[in-house]
Structure 1
């Protein structure tokens, strides 16, 4: 079988189908804390449209200005990237789905290590609109010229509190404004619960030479004994300064408009295809997604693909795990989904999902052209019980090589690729 070929950009229809998503996995490397490389294939498609400053819009409404840096043929999100990752607790095991909107503007969906979209911090603040000067070329450098800036999270500058999202096995982040004013590295302070009980804890610098910190020693005991909820945002209020600093964490309540509520319901999840024949026949839905929406699912799911096709995939409940099952093989073969691919699903309600498919280069695939006379797949399965499930995690497969089997009937010409591109 021949590998999938790239799409030809020779018609308006093909231009419309131009794939604008790319996926990035955060690996256990300190490099990802300060910069993130954009996939080569995405740069090949859109590099000539990018300026040295990009705008990244997050589902919580915050808008971030992140500068680009070109090093050789590689292009990175760099200046302000560290502040962005700290604000959303992005670390090893996280995934980010970027969608290019044109004119150096991106939307992003953030997934935690359980493969489910995070619950975004709530904020009533102004989004970060600080932006370095705009020029026509990305500045070339071999060094990280990241600079401190006033991030979207100015929450603690004039108020004696800060907010942090509790992530299992991660220490809470304390923004520099609050930390520099009230805390000192390795000097004990106390966390107090709503009953007045106190736990001694310590802070450590997030990075040498900067004032941002993380609450480290003693925090896990406090979290465990007070049943802090994973992936929930807490507001740490200063209630006493002398003789010792005392903070009281309170869980933030999600209030506001229906749009705000939907943002915090976080309806996306992602799956990485691993080197197993198991994924050719079925794929497991993450536990955390099922905890949120399992009681809404029927025995058949409707999956809508960007090419306009609609697929009906059976759901199977097996020992408290739930899988996309019947018709999954046909679906995966049609789109050449195999080892190294990623899929991001968005739940639309009533057992309906939309999906974006990424190949082994972490860039959205070019979908097969749809025949005007083609009927959508409406094959239904026997009725069964309502589905309920639990969790699964995926391993990062960012640099894995794909065998690239093609689907059986679509023929495409190879798109010409130029080694040199401009910005």
Structure 2
């Protein structure tokens, strides 16, 4: 299980327009407490400092131009921003021509035997800027990945019998891998570093991943992500005609009925006409959806004539106890870089709040007597405890083992916490020594709710499905 770093960092490839500034990745903002109130950031390297302006999540103006000129930044370079606290960042550079930071590592030129797997089949779905592939057994047994020939030719990766650097970054721009591309006659493959890349991302046979070119200089930079089941089905021609029948729409909204594919395949089609009218059909972007009290962030993908909501949809369905036949209306209220939608629940008394199921579950439960201990435990539904100093000093919250075992949580790895304002967080579970705890995600939940040492809380399990849902009652008084 990944533990949040003491000094988190993010990577930024130098792209056109960088002389005017760059943006901090959205995923990194969780490490910048109260970032909305900061007006300046300090960038440091080799004892030098530059004071730059913070405009939203953009670093610009101030000494930015001096920073660019003094470090001699150029297209294809990759900057590493290591957070030193507050808004101070120590900056390192991965040079585009040498693909490594001299302060970090040196790469040795080691010739390796080049094997060819006769059984490998390349995925046909590719363009000049990206390709998708399925991870095969040879990727692990032989330690490399073949690159589709058309993609290699289109981007000039076939260079006789040579090998050269390749940088791969993830979607959040907080992780970076140095690998090697090897060209052998008319074939190109990712070699040195592939084993570490596969292990770091827990890749397994059958996974589908996409590689997208960020820059194609002397040392190419690629961005990668794992392809969802929804995207795989669309690649295979999965039809959305049945779903389209359930959608009433105008330029500003559409109404849909939740169908089995929404729950089993974890995505939702957006009607073609609505997507075109609101410019969602020709780009990949994030959207924000809000009800009266809460908000969710989703990724929207497009593939040819099809547009759909992918990443984030599964959590939304679980949190709101959606089931087949439920009807929702999605109304667009902002068409900016990140479109904003308002959600209207058409389920009547069900509502988008999981309180109905909670009450039904509570009515069925027979509460067990609470035991006398530091955390009083009801093995069927909840426990009540107080916040200890360790939960403030460390990014974990230990759970009583009786509660964990009686609810089968030892087998779970993810959980959703819902606070009293009905906001939701996805957190990760796991063993820590001889104990079981909420690990990744606890700090964000704790800070958002202002939890302090000595606070009494109620930890109530309301849905024990594949991803358990817990209502966390902060500052619980027993009422």
Q: Which structure dedicates a bigger proportion of its chain to strand?
A: 2
- Do the two structures share a fold, i.e. TM-score over 0.5? no
Q: Structure with the greater relative contact order (CA < 8 A, sep ≥ 6): 1 or 2? A: 1
Query: Which category describes the TM-score, using the shorter chain as reference length?
Result: 0.3 to 0.5
Give the TM-score normalised by structure 2: 0.29
TM-score by length of structure 1 reads 0.32
